């Protein structure tokens, strides 16, 4: 007889679909400025450093928002749906502030606020999803990270579809998508039957997260993954635009913006594939395999810079699939290895430090490109991240504690 606690929640797939739809909408603001950086550089006279900070400010805002909301226990004091709706409205307003033609400092501040607001959507969405799923949580988490990936890619699609129109069209489209997401969060979502107890951020537990070998190795794997992920997402448009200027004919998918959308958006396939593989062959093998493939792609992409176009597109899409396909499984591994009383602390620290690391990676990419005289080989600097991450996860697989992963599938 099935334990009613373990029985699948009625309506869980509908709930997951609605959560994912809302996440797609609100996450369009993450790279809304990144997708139009070439135009902003010309219109606002931005320096290379200022252009990088339009992306980095979102990363730092997310870190600040995630840590602050955890410390004050905001997700436990406010209904998740309400928190997500209000945060989406703030993200919409901060994103739309770019339409006011602020100073570079004002634009960076608006992007920082956008990141803070997104921290009120993404982590609560993970928790809300988990209230609907006990069984199949890994696959559901893969779908949710896939939604984040698709949302992150949408500004590039908006820019490709509005080519020849002022950059403000991208800001308007992403702001409207976020506004629609806020309405969905406020009216269509509810918590599932598998709610959580009170979860608090206990600073005394921080040391355990980084001294217990299994958790340390999972986090090392995640940090290697994050070193590569957002730097690739943030600067692939610059790489594609540089390749297009080289006169490649025909250029894959017609423009650098459309190529960037396809490459980042292809990560949705990777997220679902990662969820399926992780449940079948194990978390360690899946994450290490994905990182090995993405590291190879980061190195090979430079060889395709001058064409042929089909080869550039092929390597780029494989990279787009593999660079994000393992992401959800690091969080799943932490929930399985950490002290169950402090899973929230462990996941929050993992996200916080991981996103903080992306600031460094994003910042150095244009510096490396300038030093190398162009973007062709710049992505090679990302290779050590996934290489170290893959090594860490294979080391974890050898430990007896790894038996707790994915029902014994290491």
pLDDT score for 106: 94
Q: What's the rounded Cα separation, in Å, for the pair 406 and 25?
A: 31
pLDDT score for 400: 87
Q: What's the rounded Cα separation, in Å, for the pair 23 and 181?
A: 7
pLDDT band of residue 383 (cuts 50, 70, 90) is very high
Residue 337 predicted with pLDDT over 90: no
79/257: higher pLDDT: 257
* Mean of all residue pLDDT scores within the chain: 87
The tens digit of pLDDT for each residue in 145-183 reads 899 999 999 999 999 998 889 999 999 999 999 999 999
User: Among 72-86, 228-242, 266-280, 285-299, which is the least confidently predicted range?
Assistant: 72-86
Q: What's the rounded Cα separation, in Å, for the pair 320 and 263?
A: 5
Q: What is the mean pLDDT of residues 243-252?
A: 86
CA dihedral 355, 360, 363, 367 (to 10 degrees): -150
User: Among 49-63, 207-221, 263-277, 378-392, which is the least confidently predicted range?
Assistant: 207-221
User: Among 88-102, 324-338, 372-386, which is the least confidently predicted range?
Assistant: 324-338
pLDDT score for 164: 84
The rounded percent of the chain whose pLDDT value lies above 90 is: 58
Q: Please tell me what DSSP assigns to residue 251.
A: P
CA dihedral 135, 137, 139, 142 (to 10 degrees): 180
Residue 194 predicted with pLDDT over 90: no
Give the angle subtended at the CA of 326 by the CAs of 197 and 215, to the nearest 5°: 55
Which of 327, 69, 75, 352 minimizes the C-alpha distance to 195?
75
Q: What's the rounded Cα separation, in Å, for the pair 163 and 37?
A: 14
For residue 307, give every residue at least 6 positions away whose Cβ sits within 8 Å of its Cβ, in sequence order, or none.
Answer: 246, 248
| Domains of the chain by residue range | 12-190, 205-410
Q: What is the mean pLDDT of residues 321-325?
A: 95
CATH architecture entry for 12-190 = Up-down Bundle (1.20)
pLDDT band of residue 350 (cuts 50, 70, 90) is confident
Q: Please tell me what DSSP assigns to residue 147.
A: H
**Tokens linked to 380:** 């090679």
Question: Are 12-190 and 205-410 equal in CATH topology?
Answer: yes
For residue 401, give every residue at least 6 positions away whose Cβ sits within 8 Å of its Cβ, in sequence order, or none.
Answer: 213, 214, 337
User: Among 192-206, 210-224, 371-385, which is the least confidently predicted range?
Assistant: 192-206
73/367: higher pLDDT: 367
Residue written as tokens 């309405």? 183
Q: What is 205-410's CATH topology?
A: Growth Hormone; Chain: A; (1.20.1250)
Element housing 297 (H / E): helix 283-300
Q: What is the pTM of this model?
A: 0.85
Q: What's the rounded Cα separation, in Å, for the pair 368 and 379?
A: 9
Q: 248-266 burial string, b = 16+ CB within 10 Å, else e?
A: beebbbebbbbbbbbbbbb
pLDDT band of residue 1 (cuts 50, 70, 90) is very low
Q: What's the rounded Cα separation, in Å, for the pair 145 and 271?
A: 6
């Amino acid at each position: 007889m099935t334990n009613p606690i373990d029985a699948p929640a009625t309506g869980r797939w509908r709930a997951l679909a609605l959560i994912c739809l809302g996440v797609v909408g609100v996450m369009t603001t993450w790279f809304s400025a990144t997708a139009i950086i070439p135009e902003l550089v010309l219109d606002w006279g931005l320096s290379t450093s200022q252009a990088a900070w339009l992306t980095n400010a979102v990363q730092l805002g997310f870190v600040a928002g995630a840590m602050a909301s955890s410390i004050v226990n905001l997700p436990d004091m406010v209904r998740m749906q309400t928190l997500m709706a209000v945060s989406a409205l703030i993200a919409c307003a901060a994103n739309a502030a770019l339409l006011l033609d602020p100073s570079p400092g004002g634009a960076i501040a608006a992007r920082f606020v956008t990141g803070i607001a997104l921290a009120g959507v993404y982590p609560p969405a993970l928790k809300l999803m988990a209230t609907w799923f006990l069984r199949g949580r890994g696959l559901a988490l893969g779908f949710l990270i896939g939604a984040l990936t698709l949302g992150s890619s949408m500004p590039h699609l908006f820019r490709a579809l509005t080519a020849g129109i002022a950059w403000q069209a991208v800001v308007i489209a992403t702001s409207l998508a976020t506004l629609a997401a806020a309405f969905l969060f406020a009216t269509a979502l509810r918590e599932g039957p598998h709610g959580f107890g009170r979860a608090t951020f206990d600073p005394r537990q921080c040391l355990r997260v980084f001294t217990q070998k299994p958790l340390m190795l999972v986090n090392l794997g995640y940090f290697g993954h994050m070193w590569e992920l957002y730097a690739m997402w943030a600067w692939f448009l610059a790489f594609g635009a540089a390749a297009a200027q080289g006169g490649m004919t025909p250029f894959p998918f017609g423009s650098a913006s459309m190529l960037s959308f396809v490459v980042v958006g292809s990560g949705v396939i990777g997220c679902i594939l990662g969820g399926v593989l992780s449940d079948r062959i194990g978390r360690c093998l899946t994450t290490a395999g994905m990182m090995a493939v993405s590291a190879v792609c980061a190195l090979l992409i430079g060889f395709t810079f001058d064409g042929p176009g089909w080869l550039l597109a092929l390597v780029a899409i494989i990279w787009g699939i593999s660079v994000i396909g393992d992401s959800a499984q690091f969080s799943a591994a932490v929930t399985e290895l950490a002290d169950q009383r402090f899973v929230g602390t462990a996941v929050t620290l993992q996200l916080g430090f991981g996103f903080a690391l992306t600031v460094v990676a994003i910042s150095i990419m244009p510096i490396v490109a300038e030093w190398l005289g162009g973007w062709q080989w710049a992505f090679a600097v990302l290779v050590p991240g996934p290489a170290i991450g893959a090594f860490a996860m294979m080391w974890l697989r050898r430990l007896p504690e790894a038996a707790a992963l994915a029902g014994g599938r290491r």
